[in-house]
Structure 1
Amino acid sequence: MKQFVSFLLLGIGLLTTACKNDSPEPEPDLLGRWNGESTTSYVVDASGQVKDKSTVPDKSFNMQITSDSLIYDTTIGPSMRKSYKYVRQGNDLDFTRFRCTIAVLTKHTLTLRFEERNRAPTTPNLVVEDNYIR
């Protein structure tokens, strides 16, 4: 019986140690190389309703994110590089005529959502999400 009580106390001690709050995970790093995985396109009507959605695999490019630039490189066909300067405010990356929002950011996945800034309010809107892995 003494051994049972000893094991019970040891088990309770281990349980309370294992159940302590862990410190929160730091935010995953946006900077670095991301490999294109797929592109999802949404057609959204003027009232905000999604009318069409399609996802296609797209591994034709990769992207390097620096502290102030998105640098795209093609992975198939003739080599081409495009670079865009941006300013980050929270989950928004401000550049060009598109609004870019970080929709998903984990250690190994990234989804950037692109929407046109100044579309006519009565016309359908095309929203594109580029999905990346690393």
Structure 2
Amino acid sequence: MHVEPVRSGAQKKEFIYLPRQLYRNSPWVPPLWMEEQNGYGRGKNAVLSDNEYELFIARRAGKAVGRILVYIDRAWNDHFQSSDGLFGALDAEDSEDTFNALIQAARLWLEKRGMNRIVGRFTRWRSSGGF
């Protein structure tokens, strides 16, 4: 098992489309891919535009088997007077080792930036009061 940060356009594309591979034999409904393409970069995602973040891919024998987004939301930490790191886009093969490796990579990344807790996974919420 190897976890690596996303550095190239090809890796980012692999990160975005990995759920399609992971859930191909399930009743999973895929997202709108254009939204996904725009959702993991500065300029199109307000949270990521204003904060430090990293995308990671887990590989087993060279094959992508998991992913995670980890970030530091300064507004969150100011509001809650905390040193929290947040995560999302956690998708992986059905393997405890894969999930542990992804969470460990996220934890180490956050610790290097002075964070002392990891919080997540969040879903989208509408201000009208519902999900």
TM over 0.5: no
Q: Whose helix proportion is higher, 1 or 2?
A: 2
Larger Rg, first or second structure (1 or 2): 1
When normalised by structure 2's length, the TM-score is: 0.32
Q: Whose strand proportion is higher, 1 or 2?
A: 1
When normalised by structure 1's length, the TM-score is: 0.31
